[in-house]
Amino acid sequence: MRKFAISPLRSENFPEWYQRVVKEADLAENSDVRGCMVIKPWGYAIWENIQRVLDDMLKKNGQQNAYFPLFIPLRFMEKEASHVEGFAKECAVVTHRRLQLNDGGKLVPASPLEEPLVVRPTSETIIGESFSRWIHSYRDLPIRINQWANIVRWEMRPRLFLRTLEFLWQESHTVHETREEAEMEAEKMLHCYREFAEHYMAVPVLCGEKTEMERFPGALRTLCIEAMMQDRKSLQAGTAHFLGQNFSRASHIQFIGRNGETQYAWTASGGVSTRLMGGLIMTHSDDDGLVLPPRLAPQQIAILPVIHREENEALVLEYCSELKRRIETVHYKNNPIKVVLDGRDINGGLKKWEWIKKGIPLILEIGPRDMERDSLCVLRRHGMEKYSSSVGEWIANLEQTLDRIQGEMLEQARSFREVNTQSIHSEGEFVEFFAQRGGYAVTFFAGDRKMEEAMKEKLNVTIRCILPPDGEGNCCFTGNKTVQKVVWAKSY
Amino acid sequence: MRKFAISPLRSENFPEWYQRVVKEADLAENSDVRGCMVIKPWGYAIWENIQRVLDDMLKKNGQQNAYFPLFIPLRFMEKEASHVEGFAKECAVVTHRRLQLNDGGKLVPASPLEEPLVVRPTSETIIGESFSRWIHSYRDLPIRINQWANIVRWEMRPRLFLRTLEFLWQESHTVHETREEAEMEAEKMLHCYREFAEHYMAVPVLCGEKTEMERFPGALRTLCIEAMMQDRKSLQAGTAHFLGQNFSRASHIQFIGRNGETQYAWTASGGVSTRLMGGLIMTHSDDDGLVLPPRLAPQQIAILPVIHREENEALVLEYCSELKRRIETVHYKNNPIKVVLDGRDINGGLKKWEWIKKGIPLILEIGPRDMERDSLCVLRRHGMEKYSSSVGEWIANLEQTLDRIQGEMLEQARSFREVNTQSIHSEGEFVEFFAQRGGYAVTFFAGDRKMEEAMKEKLNVTIRCILPPDGEGNCCFTGNKTVQKVVWAKSY
C-alpha cells in the first residue's frame, strides 16, 4: 500500500487526522489567545467564496445587509429569560475601558464601566432594539436584515472551525406581521442553507426540527440542517429559528396592525458560521488531505511546470503562462476559472504534494514532452485519478469536468450517508447500532425529554432532528404509536 | 429662496447638518450602546461597495485576506512601549467569561480571567505573533496580509462614522526583508488609498507624512491622505505606517537572511475605515442631503412612476419595469447599472425627496405623458439639475452621463479645496487666516514639536501632513530656512 500524505489515517484517529488536514492544507492555526483561531489565506479564501455565494442567495431572498454593535449591555441580555440562561455560561464580559500601570509597573484594567458589556454571542437582543425603533405600522413589515459578523461564545474545548471561542458567521433577523409568515421565513432560511450546502459545498444534509432539548434559547422552533461526517458523527451545519413573539416582547417590537390595534411582531432568525469549513473538510477530505469542491475552491487548477534542464526553463514557463491564459478564458458558473501557475523553484514532488494537500481540484504537470505532444498530464484530486488528454479537448470539456467532480463529490457523500443510515425498531437494535459502527439511526420516537437525556448520558447519542411527518409507527423505546420520526446520532 | 430638505443648512451649523444628512439618508443611527452605531442598509450597501472595490485593489497589490483574533492578551500589548502608551487610554478590556445571578437576583460578571484580554484597537501585536511563526527564511518574504475587521477604541466624544467606539476597517500588515522594501510598501498602500479616494469616492486628497506628534504609536513614519471637508476642516482618511523593526523586535519576527544570519524583519501596516463614509458625506452632500458618486452608489438610478389616475397604474408600472430592464443591460465600470423601481403607494413628492436625500445619482419620473412622448424627465442629484431627453438617446449616453457626474464631483471638491488653500508666510497672516474662514494653510516650517503643540493649544490647528520636498523657503514662524513644507488645518 502506498504511503498517504496525512498521518494518522482517518480510520486510525479521526480527530487527529482532522487537525493534520487543516494544518497541511494551511487553512488555519490556533492562536496564542486560548480558543481563538487564525484563519490563514487559503482557509479565508474558501470562506470568502462561501460568503460571496451565500450573500447573493440571501439577497435574492430579500435580505438586506446591515451592521449592529459588537457589545450588548447586560440589561438587554436579561430581557428574555431562557435566552440569558442559554448563553450566560459562555459570555465574554467587558468591564473596563482603559489600561494603566499599577504601582508594581504592571499593566492592569482601569476605569470600570457602570454597566458591563457582553461581547455578542448572537444578536437577537441588540438588533431587537433597533427593530423596535424602526417599526411602527404593518406597512413597515416584513423586515429582513442580515449581518456578517464575529461572535464570541466561551468554549472550554475548542477545535479549529468546529468550536472556537470567536467565530465568523452570518445572522439573519426578520420581523413579520403574522405567525405564519415568520414560521415560513424560518423555513425559507433553512431551504437556502440546504441549497447552499448541497449545490456548493457538495455536502448532503438532512432538514428537520430540533427537539426542545436542543432548541435555540428563546426559540419556539429551531430548524436545522445536519450533515454526516466521515466518522459517521453528525454536524449541525446551519439553523433557523421561529422565535414567536418572545423577542418582540423582550425588545418591545410592536406595530399598529391592519385592524388599528397595537400588537407584538413575530420574528425569526437563522445563521451559518465558519463551522461550515469544518463540515466541508470532514465530508470530503481523504488520507492525502483536503479535497475541495470546484465551486468553492479559491483556484480550480494548479499548473506545475516540470523543468529538468535549465535550458528548457524559459520555454516551459512561457508555455505554461500561455496555457494559464487560455484556461482563464473559460467560465465556470459565471466566473472565469481561476488558475495558479506555481513556478517556485522548489522540489517538484514536494510542490505537487502541497497542492494535493490543499485540495485544489485539478493539477497539471507540464514538461517538454507534454509540450511536444500538445498533451496534458492531469491529476484529478477527488479520487486521485491520473489521466492524459490533448490540450484543446481538455479545455473544451473543462466546465463539464468541473461539474462532474462537483456532482460526484455530492453523490459520494450521499452514498456514504445512506450506507450509514439505518431504520431501527427496538432499543436493543439501537444500542447495538451505536456499539458497532454507528451513524444515523432513524426511529419513531414517542418518548420525552428525560428519555433523550438518558440516551445522551448512556450512549452519547442525541436526536439530531425530527423529520418531516411521514406516516405512523411504533416508538423504538416505548412501543407506543407515534407520527414522530427522528434521527439519532453522535454529534459535534 | 426655496426651502431645502436639510435643516440646519451647512452654512448655519455644519455638525448638526451632518447628523441630519446621515439621518435623512437613513445611513446609520446611534445605538443604545454608548458610542456604538448601527449601520443601516443604505449605509452598509455603500460600505460594501467600498469594500468590494478596495479589496480588488489590495489583492492586485499582492495582499491576501486572512482573519486574526478579536482579543489580544495584555502581555502582547505591553511588548511595544509607545504602542501600549498610545492605546492604553482607549482599550475595552474583557475580564470575565461568564454571567451569573448574584444573591440579589441581578446578573453579574463571573469567572474572572487569569489574564485580561483587550478588544483589538489595531492588530499589529496579535498578527505579529503569527508572523513570527510563519517566517523562517528570507524566502518566506515578503508577506502581505489584509484583514477586514471590527475595531474598538473607547471614544469619549463619538460621532456617527467619524468617531465611534466600534468601527469597521481593513488593516494591511506586511513583512519585508529590507528597510527600503518596507518603506516602499507603506508608500504603495498610501498610493492605493489615494487612487481609491479620488477615482471612486471623488474625494481629492493630499498625500504626505505625519509629524512625530501625530504619528501612529510605534511607527517610524506615518503617511496619510487628508481630505478637506465643506467646513474647511481636514479629515484624515487613511494612513500607512513604516514600522521599522519595532514590532519585529516586540513579536520576534526574525528570519535567516541571504547572508545566513538571523535578523529582524521590517514591517509596514495601513488601513482605512468606516470613517471614509463620513468623508464621503461631508465632501459632497448639500442642503438637500446626501450626494453619492455613481461608482459607489448602491443603485445609480431610481425610477418613480407618476400615477394620477388609477386606470393608468398597470400601464405605467409595466412601462417602468420595461425601462428598468433596458437600463440594466447597460454596464458601468464592468457592472450592470443598478436601478430601483419605487412603486410604493405613497405621496409622490415625499417619495422623490426620499431619493434626493438618499443621494441616488439620477431620478426618473415617468408618467403617461412621458410614455406618449417616449421621453424622460430626469433629475440629476449632483447640482439638482432637471432635464428632459428621449429615452433611446438617454440610455445610449448613460455610461458617459454617470462618468461626467463622477468627474464633476471630483472637480468640484478639488476647486473647493483650492479656493480654501493658501500659502502663508508669516505668523500674523497665519493667525489671521484661521481667524477668518480658515482652510489649508501651506507654510514652510522649521519649528519643533513644542511649537506644534502651542499652535494646537492656541488655534486648535495642527500639521495635517508634511508635503513631499519641493524647494526651500523660510519658516513662517521662525523665519529660518527649511525644505520642510507642511499643511496646517483644523481637523476631525
Is pTM beyond 0.90? Reply is yes
- Indicate the pLDDT class of residue A2, thresholds 50, 70 and 90: confident
Say whether pLDDT at A312 is over 90. no
- Residue at B59: amino acid letter: K
Tell me the backbone φ, ψ of residue B144, rounded to 5 degrees: -130, 110
Q: What is the mean pLDDT of residues A409-427?
A: 98
- Indicate the pLDDT class of residue A310, thresholds 50, 70 and 90: confident
Residue B78 has what pLDDT?
86
Tell me the backbone φ, ψ of residue A270, rounded to 5 degrees: -170, 160
More confident: A309 or A196 = A196
Say whether pLDDT at B80 is over 90. no
Say if the Cβ atoms of A107 and B119 lie within 8 Å.
no
All residues of chain A having their beta carbon less than 8 Å from the beta carbon of residue B39 are 66-67
Interfacial B residues in 162-191 facing A (CB < 8 Å) = 165-166, 168
When CB atoms are compared, the residue of A36, A40, A88 closest to B99 is A88
On whether any CB of chain B is under 8 Å from the CB of A45, the answer is yes
Say if the Cβ atoms of B96 and A98 lie within 8 Å.
no
When CB atoms are compared, the residue of A92, A107, A166 closest to B77 is A107
Q: What is the mean pLDDT of residues B33-42?
A: 96
On whether any CB of chain A is under 8 Å from the CB of B74, the answer is yes
On whether any CB of chain A is under 8 Å from the CB of B31, the answer is yes
Residue B199 has what pLDDT?
98
- What crossing angle do the helices spanning B179-199 and B41-60 adopt, rounded to 10°? 140
Extended beta strands in B346-391, E state:
362-366, 375-380, 385-390
Say whether pLDDT at B307 is over 90. no
Say whether pLDDT at B76 is over 80. yes
CA distance A364 to A342: 10
pLDDT tens digits, B81-137: 888 889 999 999 999 999 999 998 889 999 999 999 999 999 999 999 999 999 999
When CB atoms are compared, the residue of B65, B73, B88 closest to A98 is B88
Please give the mean pLDDT across all residues of chain B: 96
CA distance B283 to B230: 6
Residue B397 has what pLDDT?
97
| C-beta separation of B170 from B63 below 8 A | no
Short-list A233, A204, A195, A194, CA closest to A413? A204
CA distance A142 to A178: 10
Q: What is the mean pLDDT of residues B30-51?
A: 96
CA distance A311 to A313: 6
Say if the Cβ atoms of B94 and A92 lie within 8 Å.
yes
CA distance B121 to B80: 14
Grid cell in block for residue A406: 462537483
Q: What is the mean pLDDT of residues A191-195?
A: 98
Backbone Cα Rg of chain A:
26
What CATH number does the domain located at A421-489 have? 3.30.110.30
Percent pLDDT > 90 in chain B is 93
Q: What angle do CA B149, B150, B154 make, to 5 degrees?
A: 150
Say if the Cβ atoms of B41 and A65 lie within 8 Å.
yes
Give the distance from residue A223's alpha carbon to the nearest chain B alpha carbon, in angstroms: 27
On whether any CB of chain A is under 8 Å from the CB of B95, the answer is yes
Residue B268 has what pLDDT?
98
Please give the mean pLDDT across all residues of chain A: 96
Residue B62 has what pLDDT?
97
User: How many contacts does A have with B, using Cβ atoms within 8 A?
Assistant: 185
Percent pLDDT > 90 in chain A is 93
3-class DSSP state of A222: strand
Say if the Cβ atoms of B33 and A119 lie within 8 Å.
no
When CB atoms are compared, the residue of A47, A65, A100 closest to B44 is A65
Say whether pLDDT at A22 is over 90. yes
Interfacial B residues in 354-383 facing A (CB < 8 Å) = none
Say whether pLDDT at B238 is over 90. yes
Say whether pLDDT at A1 is over 80. no
pLDDT tens digits, B194-226: 999 999 999 999 999 999 999 999 999 999 999
CA distance A358 to A291: 7
pLDDT tens digits, A53-77: 999 999 999 999 999 999 999 999 8
All residues of chain A having their beta carbon less than 8 Å from the beta carbon of residue B130 are 29, 31, 38
On whether any CB of chain B is under 8 Å from the CB of A118, the answer is yes
All residues of chain A having their beta carbon less than 8 Å from the beta carbon of residue B72 are 33
Query: The domain A14-284 belongs to what CATH superfamily?
Result: Bira Bifunctional Protein; Domain 2 (3.30.930.10)
- Indicate the pLDDT class of residue B2, thresholds 50, 70 and 90: confident
Give the pairing type, strands A221-228 and A206-209: antiparallel
Say whether pLDDT at A79 is over 90. no
Give the distance from residue B473's alpha carbon to the nearest chain A alpha carbon, in angstroms: 44
Substitution target in A107, A115, A125 with the highest count of B β-carbons within 10 Å is: A107
Q: What is the mean pLDDT of residues A402-410?
A: 98
Identify the architecture of domain B301-401 in CATH. Answer: 3-Layer(aba) Sandwich (3.40)
pLDDT tens digits, A319-377: 999 999 999 999 998 899 999 999 998 999 999 999 999 999 999 999 999 999 999 99
Third-level CATH fold of B419-489: Translation Initiation Factor IF3 (3.30.110)
What are the residue boundaries of the structural domains of chain A, listed by start?
Answer: 14-284, 301-401, 421-489
On whether any CB of chain A is under 8 Å from the CB of B81, the answer is no
pLDDT tens digits, A80-126: 888 888 999 999 999 999 999 999 888 999 999 999 999 999 999 99
Give the distance from residue B414's alpha carbon to the nearest chain A alpha carbon, in angstroms: 32
Q: What is the mean pLDDT of residues B329-346?
A: 94
